[in-house]
Amino acid sequence: MTPSESLPVEWSRFQRGALLAAIVAFVTCAFAGGRNPDQFFRSYLFAYLFWIGIAIGSAEVVMLQHLVGGQWGLALRRPLESGARTLWLMAILFVPLVFGVRHLYLWAQPQALAQSEELRRQSFYLNMPFFFVRVAFYFAIWLLFTYLLTKWSQDQDRQADPALGTKFQVLSGPGLVLFGLTVTFASVDWVMSLEPRWTSTIYGLIFIVGQVLSTLAFMIIVVMLLSRRKPLSDLLSAKVRLDLGNLMLTFVILWAYMAVSQLIIIWSGNLQDEIPWYLRRTAGMWGNVAIFLALFHFFIPFLLLLSRDVKRRGWLLGAVAGMILFVNLVDTFWLVEPGLLRNGFRIHALDLATVIGVGGLWVAFFIRCLKQYPLVPPNDPRWAESLIRAGHD
Amino acid sequence: MSSPSFNQNPTPEPEAPLIGFGYNYATVTDKISAIVLSKRTPRTWLVGFAIAFALLMVLMLAIGKLLFVGVGVWGIQIPVGWGWAIVNFVWWVGIAHAGTLISAILLLLHQEWRTSINRFAEAMTLFAVACAGMFPLLHLGRPWLFYWLFPYPNTMNVWPQFRSPLIWDVFAVSTYATVSLIFWYVGLIPDLATIRDRSKKTLSQKIYGIFAMGWRGSAKHWKRYETAYLLLAGLATPLVVSVHSVVSFDFAVGIVPGWHSAIFPPYFVAGAIFSGFAMVLTISIPVRKFYGLEDFITERHLNNMAKVLLATGLIVAYGYLMETFMAFYAGGRFDKYMIMDRMTGHYMNFYWILLTCNVVVPQFLWIPKIRNNVWVLWVISILVNVGMWLERYVIVVQSLARDFVPSSWRNYTGTHWDVATFLGSIGLFLTLLFLFLRYVPMISIFELRGLVPKGDAPAASTGASQRG
Amino acid sequence: MKKRLLYGLMAEFDTTDDLLAAARKTVAEGYRRVDAYTPLPVEGLAEALDFRDRRLPLIVLIGGIVGALGGYYLQYWCSAVSYPLNVGGRPLNSWPSFIPITFEMTVLVAALSAVLGMLALNGLPMPYHPVFNVPRFAMASRNRLFLCIEARDPKFELEKTREFLKNLKAREVSEVGR
């Protein structure tokens, strides 16, 4: 078997379909959003956050697997690198939000600032120029690391160089630190500041864990689809599937742990600046969404992923991953929307249109990146290891 | 999956070995069990034990004083009612965490390097939990009524207040103590059987025999044993995380600035692992030197532990950063004052020393050369222990001393009885540790056998001449 | 030695591979009351002896469920049924506050059932067992590997079984008295 096989042809059809869906969705957005720009920006923010989560998460998991190793990292490496490279697309797709800042954030609206003493106290940090400087800074870091990770990966494809392994590790350690910090501050800027008086010191971590979880879910679906053929069919042994399932299980548990910790602390404290965040997210229909999240973001995937049979069977693992991905979308909605719509629960047509629009572009770009290089890095030392193992089977 | 040799493929990247060369089942067994079976107690052990025991007597004295006079001897007052006792409690619980973590998480991750340090780390866990549990009990004021903390049917017909994190703590710490004890004990059973079979004295054969429960190494027993051990590891991992989270709730559920912070649970857990690994390094570096265990606790173990130290140290630093940032970001008066007071107020020295020890010093561990330098690593681990104690001191004392109303502000310093109790708890810890080193195999023998190259084991064995 | 006083025959092996092969052949030969004794867990040995027991995970699962339900109910009953008390305006059934103890009780009961379940299924503690009568068996906890066929096995015939074991690359075959 050779690692040089690239993406099956039918993926080009996926790509065209995704692109088409994106065009249709964006035309819809243009019509509906033109009449209701406020709603457009709200929906767009939500859709953007969901998809950039997978892009950032991919870069993080690439670095994580460079640091800790393991066959699962080899199987996911190319899809993850492609996911990270979509950050270039996400940088361009940020442009609409530049125009949306005034529509979205109270702290960017002069009349709101004039009325509120508290908001003015926060404006040393929450002001438009500084906001844009920070956005530029985050993307500079994210793109720099994506660029290096991609470039070195290409170098490695061309020639096996043992020194590259060390180079990846030297980059990945500080890279994870920097990503942790930038993603935390981005989550504060983009989401937490929608409700400026509310703060939670664990918020950034919840965000990071959620992003990694949706990344894992998405990438597991991708490799399961690819695993019908070589080379991934060889790589996705029962043991690797078990590892992937356990990894997802770990992040499901971590997410629940962080979410419950925040709930216990804020619920018990019951302070006027903090508790409204939960009151908004549990009022009326939102309460049902919260129960749905507790069940499908934790209990059900947790119980399913405990079973070895589920983790070993590829299609079942893929199905659980699909469920987790969808629930993550709902979770993003639950985090973002109640802060914006202060009059109850609503799903607007634009919410769907933007998710499909941004998502279509994202998926098309992702497949384009995936096509360009062999599906398994041929000179990754772990590949040789997997050949030895396969020989023993 | 026909033969087990399938797992022993050479890894392409060369790594330092986990165990020295030339060992097999028999020599591994003999080397570790000899420490326990040796008739002569080493003189250095006696000296160390004497010092530890003297400190333990200091603890007895301090507790005696406390019981006669009351918790006032500790210098606690209003508003700082928690003082050294709770600082020590959190510090010890934190140290306790590395043991279970090394055992459980590394087992689940198939990290074979855990084998030579897990027994030792688990023992450390148990002794640290014992030290930790003592402090809140003594802090009750009337420790003999501690059983009021449990929900038992009583004539007063009242129940504990389950909305209070202090009750959660009772459940968390006692569950943790129980589960760590059985985890440790289950891991010991096969080795106790080894000692039973290798001991030549009837008394020790009987004692080890009782604790080995008649273990005979049956293949069927091993199968269930491994299942149980794995399940215990799976249960112990979230348990460790929950215990220090509950400890952090003791603070975070209250609304005092400096305590009420949502990041406390993961940040406390990371801090616990941080200080726990630091303590494992602090103790294992001299022990491996003294007992000549460099072949089992290799440089690679120390290097890996240093990496864990660095990673958890970074999470702790993230916690400090978030607390500070959010205080300024939210623009609230009290949180901002709390941070400013930490940096410039009465306790500023503690604050800056803790930042140096916990944030600056670990950054040296990025450098591989420093990770491989045993004695530099040892110094760093001690500094981290100091830093983590100071961190808890700042959290407990500074936050309480400066709450919402200036009229209630009051500075706090511990008394010499606080110091005596703290030193005494170190004495308790060391006494138990010395007894453990002498009487229990400090490295899991049966797991080490699994690390030995399989092929040479029987060839070198000359079983017949072994039993006298 | 009479069969009544005989526990079985024990063969000693040099390597785990020999032991594994011997175990497979013994089971294939039709022996049912067979056990192996090793100083460390040998992968695949229990399977080679045709031993399957999936009760332990089930016991732990039940223990966990009992712990979770019991832990929550304990708090609910004390706080909302037996002595309802308004604490800071919190609801009587303050479920977010009840999460930590529920979790701890789940782990506690599950862990205890894992250990006690393992010991009970293994029949430990067992102070006396015939295999200890073989002098060299003391090495089973050091470096030697043993395979024992019990006399109770319907296929057991002293001489035939001894011959069978000897042909399995056994280093030594000894009788195990009761």
Domain residue spans of chain A = 10-110+125-388
Q: Please determine, for residue B9, whether its predicted confidence score (pLDDT) is greater than 60.
A: no
Residue of B nearest to C85 (CA): B161
**What confidence score (pLDDT) does residue A5 get?**
60
Shortest distance, CA C158 to any CA of chain B (angstroms):
22
- Helix extents (H) in A123-161: 128-158
Residue B268 near residue B95 (C-beta atoms within 8 A)? no
Confidence bin at B457 (pLDDT 50/70/90): very low
* Contact assignment for A122 to B329 by CB distance below 8 Å: yes
- Best residue of B194, B225, B231, B242 to probe chain C, by most C CBs closer than 10 Å: B231
**What confidence score (pLDDT) does residue C100 get?**
94
**What is the number of alpha carbons within 13 Å of residue A257 lying toward its C-beta?**
24
* Contact assignment for A264 to C88 by CB distance below 8 Å: no
Strand C6-13 and strand C34-37: pairing?
A: unpaired
**What confidence score (pLDDT) does residue B454 get?**
59
Q: Nearest CA to A207 among A100, A331, A319, A42?
A: A331
Cα C153 from Cα B152, distance rounded (Å) = 52
Chain C residue numbers touching A267 (CB-CB < 8 A):
96-97
Chains with 3+ CB–CB pairs under 8 A to C are: A, B
Cα B177 from Cα B167, distance rounded (Å) = 16
Q: Does domain B25-449 have CATH number 1.10.940.10?
A: no
Chains with 3+ CB–CB pairs under 8 A to A are: B, C
Q: Is B387 on the interface with A (CB under 8 A)?
A: no
Give the count of beta carbons closer than 10 Å to the beta carbon of residue B459.
10
Q: What is the CA radius of gyration of chain C?
A: 25
Mean pLDDT of B236-248: 92
| Per-residue tokens: B229 | 């051990």
* Contact assignment for C97 to A263 by CB distance below 8 Å: no
- Best residue of A239, A253, A257, A260 to probe chain C, by most C CBs closer than 10 Å: A260
The secondary structure of B234-270 as a DSSP string is HHHHHHHHHHHHHHHHHHHTS--TTT--TTHHHHHHH
Give whole-number Cα distances, C61 to B180, B235, C158, in Å: 19, 11, 44
- Best residue of A253, A262, A267, A303 to probe chain C, by most C CBs closer than 10 Å: A267
Top pLDDT among C17 and B387 is at B387
Domain ranges of chain B: 25-449
Question: Locate tokens 């072994």: which residue?
Answer: B466
* Contact assignment for B159 to C104 by CB distance below 8 Å: no
* Contact assignment for A261 to B255 by CB distance below 8 Å: no
Chains with 3+ CB–CB pairs under 8 A to B are: A, C
**Strongest mean pLDDT among B36-50, B387-401, C37-51:** B387-401
For the stretch B92-127, pLDDT in tens is 999 988 888 877 877 777 777 777 778 888 888 899
**What confidence score (pLDDT) does residue A346 get?**
82
Shortest distance, CA B231 to any CA of chain C (angstroms):
7
Beta bridge partners of C149: C9, C34
Beta bridge partners of C9: C149, C175
Confidence bin at B301 (pLDDT 50/70/90): confident
Q: B392: phi > 0 → left, psi -120 to 50 → alpha, else beta; which?
A: alpha
Cα B312 from Cα B368, distance rounded (Å) = 17
Mean pLDDT of B22-51: 79
Percent of chain B residues past pLDDT 90, beyond the cut: 43
**What confidence score (pLDDT) does residue A389 get?**
61
Chain A residue numbers touching C101 (CB-CB < 8 A):
none
For the stretch B125-143, pLDDT in tens is 899 999 999 999 999 988 8
Cα B200 from Cα B187, distance rounded (Å) = 23
- Give just the sign of the alpha carbon dihedral A291, A292, A293, A299: positive
Q: Please determine, for residue B163, whether its predicted confidence score (pLDDT) is greater than 50.
A: yes
Length of chain C: 178
**What confidence score (pLDDT) does residue B212 get?**
87
Q: Which of residues 81-140 of C touch A (CB under 8 A)?
A: 88-89, 96-97, 99-100
* Contact assignment for C100 to B172 by CB distance below 8 Å: yes
Cα A131 from Cα C134, distance rounded (Å) = 79
Q: Please determine, for residue B12, whether its predicted confidence score (pLDDT) is greater than 80.
A: no
Q: Nearest CA to A3 among A390, A313, A365?
A: A390
Kindly state the DSSP code that residue B218 receives in the 8-state scheme. Answer: B
**What confidence score (pLDDT) does residue B459 get?**
37
Shortest distance, CA A11 to any CA of chain B (angstroms):
34
Shortest distance, CA C143 to any CA of chain B (angstroms):
5
| Per-residue tokens: B307 | 């990496």
For the stretch A94-149, pLDDT in tens is 999 999 999 899 899 999 888 888 888 898 999 999 999 999 999 999 999 999 99
Q: Which of helix, strand or coil describes residue B67?
A: helix
* Contact assignment for C97 to A260 by CB distance below 8 Å: no
Residues of chain A predicted below pLDDT 50: 1-4, 392-393
Mean pLDDT of B188-211: 85
| Per-residue tokens: A281 | 């997210």
Q: Which of helix, strand or coil describes residue C9?
A: strand
**What confidence score (pLDDT) does residue C164 get?**
81
Chain C residue numbers touching B3 (CB-CB < 8 A):
17, 20, 44
Residues 6+ apart with CB under 8 A from B270: B312, B315, B316, B319
Top pLDDT among B384 and A393 is at B384
Question: Locate tokens 């033969």: which residue?
Answer: B3
**What confidence score (pLDDT) does residue A363 get?**
94
* Contact assignment for B228 to C82 by CB distance below 8 Å: no
pTM of the model: 0.89
Q: Which of B9, B255, B321 sits opposite A385 (nearest CB)?
A: B9
The per-residue pLDDT string of chain C (178 residues; one tens digit each, 9 = 90 and over) reads 455 678 888 888 878 888 888 888 888 888 888 888 888 888 888 888 878 888 999 999 999 999 999 999 999 999 999 888 888 888 999 999 999 999 999 999 999 999 999 999 988 888 888 888 787 787 777 778 888 888 887 878 778 888 888 888 778 888 787 7
Confidence bin at B458 (pLDDT 50/70/90): very low
